[in-house]
Each structure stands twice: as C-alpha cells, then as structure tokens.
Amino acid sequence: MLTKARKYTDNSHLGDSLKITISAVIPFLVLMPYKEFNWAFAAAMGAMLTAPVDIPSNLKDKVVGLFVGAFTVPAVTLVLSLTNNHWYFYPIFIFILFSLSMISVYGHRANMLSFTGLLAASLGLAHNYEGNALLMHCLMLLLGGLLYLLVAVIFYFIRPRRYGVLQTSECMTLTADYLKYRAMLWSEKADTQKIVEEQLKIQVSLNEVHENLREFLVRNKANSSNSSNNRRLLVAFSTLVEILEIAASTSFDHKKLREYFKDRIDIIEDYQKLAQDFSLTIQELGEALNMGLKYQPKYKLDQQIELLQNKLSEFSTENTSENKMEAVLMYSNVLHYAQSQIAKIHILEKILIEKAFTTDVKEKFKDLEKFLTPVHYRWETLRENLNFTSTIFRHATRLTLTILVGFIIGKAFALLNAYWILLTIVVIMRPGFGLTKQRAFERVIGTVIGGLLALGLLLFIDNVSVIAYLTIFTMIIGYWFSHTDYKVGVTFITMYVVLIYAILTPNFMDLLLYRIVDTVIGAVLAFGANYLLWPSWEFLNVNTHLSKSVKANKDYVKEITLLYNEKGEVTLPYKLARKYAFIEIGNLMASFQRMIQEPKSKQTLRSEIYELAVLNHTFLSTAASIGIYVQHKHTTKASEAFNIVMDYIDKNLDMSVEYLEQYNVANLHENLVTDSILASYNVSLEYLKNLREYELKKKYSDDEEIKNLMEESILVIEQLMWLAQLSEKILKISTNISNKRKELNDSTKINLHIPTTLFNKRKTKLQ
C-alpha cells in the first residue's frame, strides 16, 4: 500500500506543484507581518506566471528560460499599464498578443514562454497602478519570478536525475503495456482491430517519452558522464527502444499457428504465458526503478523458453502432417523473437541488479545527439510562418481577436474581475477544435464543481487559519492534477481562489458567481472562435501526416534494401530512418485521434484515413521485421529478384505520396510503375514464390546452417511478398482518397456562371 502511494506521489507533477506552492507562499510569510498584502500578492503572481516555462531540461536551458520568463511577466504588465486609457493602447495590446502567440513556432519551451506572456497580458490590467505603485508592482512580479527560479534550481540540485528516472520508468510501463496487448493476440477470440488501436495509442505516448528521454540524456551529457546512474538510464532507454522495435517489427499469423498446433494447443498457451511474463517483468522493473527498490526476478523466462523448445522438438518428431515443416519454421520464428526479447530483458535486469554499472557507453552512443529534434531560433523560421497556411499563424490571429473581444465585453459590461474571461480563453484555446472543445467543457465543469465545494467548506468552517491551510492544500492538489487530469486540476484551483478571497473579503459569493459567469463567457468565445475563425480542422492536417508516414516508410525500406545488399554494421542513416518511421506513424495516429473529436461533418474520409493509417502501421512492422532479421542473422547475398521487388514497393510508395500530396489527380506525374517494371516484378515474384514452395517441401534437417538458409529463404520471402501486397493496398487507398477529395472539392465549388440568355431576355424587354 505504501509503495503504491509513494509511486503516485513521488513524481514530477507533484514536484512542480510543490515548487509553485512554495514560491507563492513565501512572499506572504515574509511580507504579511508588514501588512504589505499587495506586494506579497504580486510576488506570488510573478512566481505562478513564470512557472509554466519550467520544463525538464539541463540546468543551463532551465535557468535561461526561467530568467526570460521572469522578465517577460513584469515587462508585459508595465507596457500595458502605461498605455492603458490612451488611443494607442489597442494597437499595442494586439501587437503584444500576436507576437507572444507567434513565438510558439520555436518549440516547446518557446510555446510555454508564449503561454506565460499571454497570462501576464490577461492579468496586466487587473489592477490600475500608476507611478511608483506600478513600478513597485512590476518589481515584485520580477522578484516573484526570480524566487521561483531559485526554488526550481534548489529542487534540481536536490534530485538532479529524478526526472530521468521517472521518464525511464514511464517508458518501461508503456513498453510493458504494448507487450501485454501483443500477448492478448494469442487468445482464440482476440479482437485484433481493438488491440491494434490500443497499440497505436501507446505508440503515440511512447514517441513523446522517447523524445523527452533523448533530450534529457543528451542535453545533460549522460553519454559522456562518469555517473553510473547516467549510464544505467542511457542503456535502459536504448534497450527499451530495441524491445519496442523488435515487438513492432515481428508479426505472427496467430490463426494459422493455432491451426497447425491444434493437437498440441499447450504449445500455444505456454507461449502466451511467456509473452505475458515479458510484460509483467518489464512492468516490475519499471516499478523497482521508480521506487529505488532492490529488484528480484520473479519469472523464469529462460526455463520457459527451454521448455517450449523441447516441446517443439517433440512436435517435429511426432507430427506427420504435410504442414509440419511450415509449422516448425513459423514457430521457430516465434521462439527467435522470444529469445531476442529475453536477452534485452536480461540487460534491463542487469542495470538494476548491478551495484556498480561499468558498461562503457561512449562509443555505442556517440551519435545520439543526431537523434534530437533541432530547434533553430532564426528569423527565417518566424517569417516562413507569417501566412495563413501556417497553423500557428491562424491560431495566433484567432487567439488575438478572441482575447480582444473578451476584453471589450468585460469593459462594456463592467464585469467583476473580467480578466478571468481572458485567462479562460488563453488556458483552453488550442490550435485544434477537438482539444479546445474538451478543455472548455472540463474548465466550466471544474469551475462549477470547485466553486460549490469551496462554498460548502466555507459554510462549515469559519476559522481563518484552517481556511489558510486548506487554501495551500487545494493549491498543491490543483497544480498537481492540472498536468494529468485538467478537470480535477481546475476544480481545486477554483477552490483555492475562492478560499483566498473568502479570507480577504466578505463578498466572496459575488466573486464565485462572477468567476463562473466569466469562465462560461471565455469558454463560449474560445469554442466559437475555433469553429468560426479560420478553423484548423484536423482532416486537413491528417493528410499531411499520411503523406509523411508513407514517405518515412519509403525511406526506411530504402535503408533496409541497402543493409541487405551491403551487410555490415547498422548505419546512422538506417537508425534515423527507422526512428522517423516510428515517429511519423505515432504522429499520424495522434492526428487521427484529434480528428475524431471534431464534429462528424468535419471527419471527412474517416474510414479511408483510418484504413490507410493501419496499413502504414502494418507495413512498418513488416519492413522492420526484415530489417531486424538482417541485423541479427548472417544472411546470403541479396538476389536480383529481391531488389526488383523492393524497387517495385518503392515506386508504389512514391506514387502514394504523390496522390496524397496532390488534391487534383490530373496534376499527377505519369505512372512510375511502367509495363517493363511490372513485368520484371511479376517474374521476380513468381520466382520467389516458387523458391519458397521448394524450400517448404525440403525435408527437415538438424544441420544448423541448412536450417538457417531455409529460414532466411522462407521468412524473408514471406515478408517481402506481404510487403509488396501492402504497398499495392496503400497505393489503392491513396488513389481512392485523392479521387474522393477531388470529388468533394468539385461538389463544394460555387458555380458563379450566369447564363447569357438572362441578359438577352432582359435586353429585349428594355428595347
């Protein structure tokens, strides 16, 4: 019980919440004895507004980012306060809002700085300070931001590697979940479609965690450090990526295997148990790493696979069916997969069991920095996005106008604390409609529930000290959950806001009512703006992700072909192509998930897009299976037939990309698959089919070399033929999507042509 409680509380979200709470409470503890409430409030506000810029990174980037954020808050407040009530206020207000929104083009940290600046702009006019009072207010905002910087640095030095441990543990948990769904595929009545959907969702989350770990481990120089902990995390991360790649790249025909082993179903059931134990082992490894506990292996994976190998030998000796050879080879492939995963799991176990981890990682991970997504703070990046084809530009324009309308409504109706309208717009408005709708709903619900709960507490508690402690508690809970469950976070944040005002003013009921009203107004404005003002419907973006995913698969197949022909060590281009292929399939599924949150009328070609996304995922898995086989097995020289089929696949994907990138089919290039290429492909495919059938008819031999040659001949050809079929299906669906998009475009065009006969009739009457 205590272990579970610790796992739930000892995480980065609670740490972030504590940093905000401590930074906000300290000013009150220091200044309240001097009755300088306004100063304390301003300092606390400065700390809370600076906090969003505090994203995981190395110390230098953290300090620079928070320093810029700490100065941005008072700077925005000062400019808006000085220009307020002048004719030039609105142009400056609009310029600040738009500029802050546009800096999101520079990546995640810039996006959080943008958020901080927009929050500061929303609160900048909450108080009418002038002269020295304004300067003092801005100074306290700055000091509050710098105080948060100090607290964040102290937290960093207390547990500098905690974030890496938490992310690695999370990576283990997600990888274990992925393997759990793979094990479910062995069930007789497995819902394959549902399982694939869940695996794709996990892939989206894993892509994000992988990128976070790359940033953390490389930016903190983990690959060159002497720290045993750094080496552990780096090797663990690399091993988890390999486990996922092996899992994603290996597919089995479960129905056929069940049919082949129907008389020895225990072989199938024993393997499913082993597959489940893979997941459970990695899950427990993640928990042990997270908790800092001593790891004790529970599952005897080596004994389990040895038992399966013995059972397969018995089957090959006793079985007399004509499919015995294919059954043995197919199940041998299953055992090869299991052996690979067990070897990787043992590496993870070694990481936790060894007290002094001495593995040298410098040479192996020397190119790790090349896997990072570069961020360039160049003027050209901003300039390229200053047009309506940019999602960020449309969002910045939409957000600026919505905040302006919210500001005007607040002024026109003299609403109490009207800046809550602006805060609501900034917090819930996102470039996509689906997420904005979801956050709008959650914020309104959270605000109402939080307000009612706070009211209930105040009806029964009138002790100021108790209310103060409850305020701090609800503040911690609110910021803690705002990262993981926004609705719960808003509920507790609303509670602490109402409790604070209950301490300060007797008319907190008016405050509660206006907060709910302002929140509803802000949510309606944000929701309406995302629907009406240059909406970024995801069905338009998903086409780009489809194209990128197919293109990434195409690049990966090229690298696999090169590796098969040239042999040798895996190259950096191969690793990068593999990385981007997995990332793009994750991005595609994330885009599809956003699309299905939008109105039904905007989910254009939903079934076709989903079908193509699943095909892309299957294609990637099949291609990766060939890549894995080439890496871990000594293979023969690539035949001409192999290269011809791979070239055919490449051209199919090339045409698919063209169809997806062109809305008008008439503008497409000529068919890349010419008659001569198609003829060569058909001959090569027939040759490979015949070779496969010939190998299958050979008698089983215990000679390891002959067995390996047969495995390569059968398994690679099997995957290659399936890869060719998938490329044809991808091309067919891509063509279908392109044609349907053209039909939709043609049907929505407004025919402005007016028949000349109308003018002739009119002319005749006039005459």
User: According to the per-residue pLDDT averaged within each range, which of 102-116, 204-218, 321-335, 666-680 is highest?
Assistant: 102-116
Sign of CA dihedral 287, 290, 294, 295: positive
Residue 752 in domain: no
Q: Which pLDDT band holds residue 1 (cuts at 50, 70, 90)? A: very low
Question: What angle in degrees, to the nearest 10, is found between the helix axes of 192-219 and 606-632?
Answer: 60
Question: What angle in degrees, to the nearest 10, is found between the helix axes of 59-83 and 108-123?
Answer: 30
Residue 346 in domain: yes
Question: Quick one: which of 19, 150, 144, 137 has its CA closest to 70?
Answer: 144
Indicate whether 14 and 113 sit together in one domain. Answer: yes
pLDDT, tens only, 146-160: 999 999 999 888 877
Q: Collect all residues with Cβ–Cβ distance below 8 Å to 670 and sequence separation of at least 6.
A: none
From the CB of residue 132, how many other CB atoms can be counted at a distance below 10 Å? 8
Q: What is the pLDDT of residue 508?
A: 64
pLDDT, tens only, 173-217: 999 999 999 888 888 888 887 888 788 788 878 888 887 887 777
Q: How many domains does the chain have?
A: 3
The answer to whether residues 79 and 69 touch, using CB atoms and an 8 Å cutoff, is no
Residue 259 in domain: yes
User: According to the per-residue pLDDT averaged within each range, which of 54-58, 238-242, 637-641, 698-702 is highest?
Assistant: 238-242
pLDDT, tens only, 653-668: 888 888 887 754 444 5
Q: Which tokens is 746 given?
A: 């043609």
Q: What is the pLDDT of residue 762?
A: 39
At 692, the amino acid letter reads R
Indicate whether 109 and 170 sit together in one domain. Answer: no
Q: Collect all residues with Cβ–Cβ distance below 8 Å to 253 and sequence separation of at least 6.
A: 330
Indicate whether 26 and 9 sit together in one domain. Answer: yes
The residue written with tokens 């043992």 in the block is: 346
Q: What is the 3-state secondary structure (H, E, C) of 48-74?
A: HHHHHHCCCCCHHHHHHHHHHHHHHHH
* Cα angle: 715, vertex 690, 336; to 5 degrees: 10
Question: Quick one: which of 526, 353, 326, 555 has its CA closest to 437?
Answer: 526
Q: Which tokens is 191 given?
A: 């819902």
> Phi-psi category of 671—alpha, beta or left, where left has phi over 0 and alpha has psi -120 to 50?
beta
Indicate whether 307 and 197 sit together in one domain. Answer: yes
Task: Kindly tell me if the per-residue pLDDT of 430 is higher than 50.
Answer: yes
Indicate whether 40 and 175 sit together in one domain. Answer: no
Q: What is the 3-state secondary structure (H, E, C) of 382-431?
A: HHHCCCCCCHHHHHHHHHHHHHHHHHHHHHHCCCCCCHHHHHHHHHHCCC
More confident residue, 751 or 170: 170
Q: What is the pLDDT of residue 226?
A: 46
Q: What is the pLDDT of residue 74?
A: 94
Residue 123 in domain: yes
More confident residue, 684 or 90: 90
More confident residue, 713 or 29: 29
Q: Which pLDDT band holds residue 690 (cuts at 50, 70, 90)? A: low
Q: Determine the Cα–Cα distance for residues 96 and 210; give it in Å rounded to an integer.
A: 35
The answer to whether residues 356 and 228 touch, using CB atoms and an 8 Å cutoff, is yes
Task: Kindly tell me if the per-residue pLDDT of 596 is higher than 70.
Answer: yes
The answer to whether residues 659 and 605 touch, using CB atoms and an 8 Å cutoff, is no
Indicate whether 92 and 175 sit together in one domain. Answer: no
Residue 207 in domain: yes
Q: Determine the Cα–Cα distance for residues 315 and 257; give it in Å rounded to an integer.
A: 13
The answer to whether residues 590 and 204 touch, using CB atoms and an 8 Å cutoff, is yes
Q: 3-state class of 1 per DSSP?
A: coil
The stretch 539-567 carries a mean pLDDT of 82
Q: Determine the Cα–Cα distance for residues 629 and 623; give it in Å rounded to an integer.
A: 10
Residue 582 in domain: yes
Question: Quick one: which of 733, 743, 613, 735 has its CA closest to 672?
Answer: 735
Task: Choose the final residue of a domain: 160, 180, 205.
Answer: 160
Task: Kindly tell me if the per-residue pLDDT of 681 is higher than 70.
Answer: no
> Between the CA atoms of 207, 212, 214 and 218, what dihedral angle is there, to the nearest 10 degrees?
170
* Cα angle: 179, vertex 186, 198; to 5 degrees: 45
Tell me how far apart the terminal alpha carbons of the chain are, to the nearest angstrom.
Answer: 97
Q: Determine the Cα–Cα distance for residues 92 and 78; give it in Å rounded to an integer.
A: 12
Q: What is the pLDDT of residue 233?
A: 81
Q: Which tokens is 531 given?
A: 């629907």
Indicate whether 188 and 151 sit together in one domain. Answer: no
Range of the domain at 151: 1-160
Residue 33 in domain: yes
Q: What is the pLDDT of residue 568?
A: 64
Q: What is the 3-state secondary structure (H, E, C) of 162-202?
A: HHHHHHHHHHHHHHHHHHHHHHHCCCCCCCHHHHHHHHHHH
Question: Quick one: which of 345, 162, 336 has its CA closest to 236?
Answer: 345
Indicate whether 101 and 192 sit together in one domain. Answer: no
Indicate whether 52 and 178 sit together in one domain. Answer: no
Q: Determine the Cα–Cα distance for residues 667 and 660; give it in Å rounded to an integer.
A: 12
Task: Kindly tell me if the per-residue pLDDT of 291 is higher than 60.
Answer: yes
H-helix or E-strand spanning residue 315: helix 301-318
Indicate whether 616 and 686 sit together in one domain. Answer: yes
Indicate whether 169 and 149 sit together in one domain. Answer: no
The stretch 103-122 carries a mean pLDDT of 86
Return mean pLDDT, the chain: 78
CATH number at residue 585: 1.20.58
pLDDT, tens only, 226-280: 466 777 788 888 888 888 888 877 777 788 888 888 888 888 888 889 999 999 9
Q: What is the pLDDT of residue 152?
A: 92
Indicate whether 302 and 330 sit together in one domain. Answer: yes
Q: What is the pLDDT of residue 367?
A: 55
Residue 418 in domain: no
DSSP 518-545: HHHHHHHHHHHHHHHSS---HHHHHHHH
- Say which range, 353-362, 464-473, 535-544, has the weakest mean pLDDT: 353-362
Q: Determine the Cα–Cα distance for residues 559 and 578; give it in Å rounded to an integer.
A: 9
Q: Determine the Cα–Cα distance for residues 425 and 701; give it in Å rounded to an integer.
A: 71
Task: Choose the final residue of a domain: 127, 160, 193.
Answer: 160
Q: What is the pLDDT of residue 277?
A: 92
Task: Choose the final residue of a domain: 371, 403, 428.
Answer: 371
pLDDT, tens only, 6-64: 555 556 777 888 898 999 899 988 887 877 788 888 899 899 999 989 887 777 888 99
More confident residue, 705 or 297: 297
Percent of the chain exceeding pLDDT 70 equals 80
More confident residue, 463 or 686: 463
Question: Quick one: which of 462, 451, 440, 449 has its CA closest to 496?
Answer: 451
